[in-house]
């Protein structure tokens, strides 16, 4: 297979779906004339024109609402937030309109919309531009929340998200847009809500999603040097969560570490921990451990960023703890 960048995989997914279905369109800040803030939509304005690749003012609440209304009337919008930190301005439309419309209309209106953009820290951008809201959105009935970790998954999951009749939050990472990975030439879809066992292992289950998978892979490599076999699971979506894959893995390894960039309180890792103690308690040989960002706003200084975010050192400490080493 060819190797392409994460941003190219996303661009291909959107372009293929726009060619397939004329109801699909892209809207957001700088998506058209500038070819996208992260060059994800490069060339799309030239191919599809300004009626389907639409630059907006800096008004997330406004263009998110336009997208919801368009979806209710039969179109399939892709709404790009320059970062999900800015989605807070539009959260009323996402939570109170898109997520609830099917229920509140008694099934008369579906909202087939994708809200996509980068999540989490991207270096020295300080507190207001470095937050993870996957667990916020995953807490909301009516939404699906997808967080891919590599170009192959990103393309297949974005195509599925665009075709889905439910509103979908599709969260990427500024630090991954240049990552390369193998992506096939032909069409393929990846179903939402199916986790992927990236590596088989026997001693401990490592669970994560999004760019934290890089940290997990590094930790698994370090653990292997010390004779610890890690089974690595990429959730890929955090609503719905593929609990069965995680539970079955823990039944095999008897230990689990969950790595997540979000703050620890009411996080996805908290939910995984609860589910494991409920459905795999008798199989556990050690308490569930999780590695989250420290419970503080992310600072600007790079030394403090390194100390606060999940990293290989903290993940290795968690692995050794569940192994009683």
The residues facing 197 across adjacent strands are 233
Q: What is the pLDDT of residue 187?
A: 94
Task: Give me the tens of pLDDT residue by residue for the chain, a chain 325 residues long.
Answer: 899 999 999 999 999 999 999 999 999 999 999 999 999 999 999 999 999 999 999 999 999 999 999 999 999 999 999 999 999 999 999 999 999 999 999 999 999 999 999 999 998 998 999 999 999 999 999 999 999 999 999 999 999 999 999 999 999 999 999 999 999 999 999 999 999 999 999 999 999 999 999 999 999 999 999 999 999 999 999 999 999 999 999 999 999 999 999 999 999 999 999 999 999 999 999 999 999 999 999 999 999 999 999 999 999 999 999 999 9
Answer yes or no: are the C-beta atoms of 189 and 215 closer than 8 Å.
Answer: no
Q: What is the pLDDT of residue 280?
A: 97
Q: Whole-angstrom Cα distance, residue 15 to residue 159? A: 10
- 141 class by beta-carbon count within 10 Å (0-12 exposed, 13-18 middle, 19+ buried): exposed
**2-38 pLDDT per residue, tens:** 999 999 999 999 999 999 999 999 999 999 999 999 9
Which residues lie below 8 Å from residue 295, measured CB to CB, with a gap of 6+? Answer: 263, 264, 265
**254-307 pLDDT per residue, tens:** 999 999 999 999 999 999 999 999 999 999 999 999 999 999 999 999 999 999
Q: What is the pLDDT of residue 1?
A: 84
Q: What is the pLDDT of residue 236?
A: 98
* C-alpha to C-alpha distances, 37 to 83, 118, 206, nearest whole angstrom: 10, 11, 33
* Positions marked catalytic: 60, 129
């Amino acid at each position: 297979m060819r190797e392409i960048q994460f941003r190219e995989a996303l661009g291909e997914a959107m372009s293929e779906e726009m060619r397939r279905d004329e109801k699909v369109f892209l809207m957001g800040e700088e998506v058209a004339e500038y070819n996208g803030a992260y060059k994800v939509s490069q060339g799309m304005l030239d191919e599809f024109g300004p009626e389907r690749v639409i630059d907006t003012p800096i008004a997330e609440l406004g263009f998110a609402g336009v997208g919801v209304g368009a979806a209710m009337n039969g179109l399939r919008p892709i709404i790009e937030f320059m970062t999900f930190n800015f989605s807070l301005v539009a959260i009323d439309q996402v939570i109170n309109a898109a997520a609830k419309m099917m229920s509140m209309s008694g099934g008369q209106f579906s909202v087939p919309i994708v809200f996509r953009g980068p999540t989490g820290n991207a270096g020295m951008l300080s507190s207001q531009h470095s937050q993870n809201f996957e667990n916020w959105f995953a807490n909301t009935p009516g939404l699906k929340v997808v967080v891919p970790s590599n170009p192959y998954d990103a393309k297949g999951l974005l195509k599925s998200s665009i075709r889905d009749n439910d509103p979908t939050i599709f969260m990427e990472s500024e630090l991954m847009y240049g990552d390369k990975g193998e992506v096939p030439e032909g069409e393929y879809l990846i179903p939402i809500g199916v986790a992927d066992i990236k590596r088989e292992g026997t001693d401990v289950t490592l669970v994560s999603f999004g760019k934290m998978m890089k940290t997990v892979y590094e930790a698994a490599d370090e653990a292997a040097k010390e004779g610890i076999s890690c089974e690595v699971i990429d959730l890929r979506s955090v609503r719905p969560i593929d609990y069965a894959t995680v539970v079955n893995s823990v039944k095999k390894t008897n230990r689990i570490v969950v790595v997540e960039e979000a703050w620890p309180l009411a996080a996805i890792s908290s939910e995984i921990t609860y589910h494991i103690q409920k459905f795999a308690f008798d199989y556990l040989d050690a308490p569930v451990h999780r590695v989250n960002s420290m419970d503080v706003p992310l600072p600007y200084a790079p030394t403090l960023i390194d100390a606060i975010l999940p990293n290989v050192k903290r993940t290795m400490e968690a692995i050794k703890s569940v192994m009683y080493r």
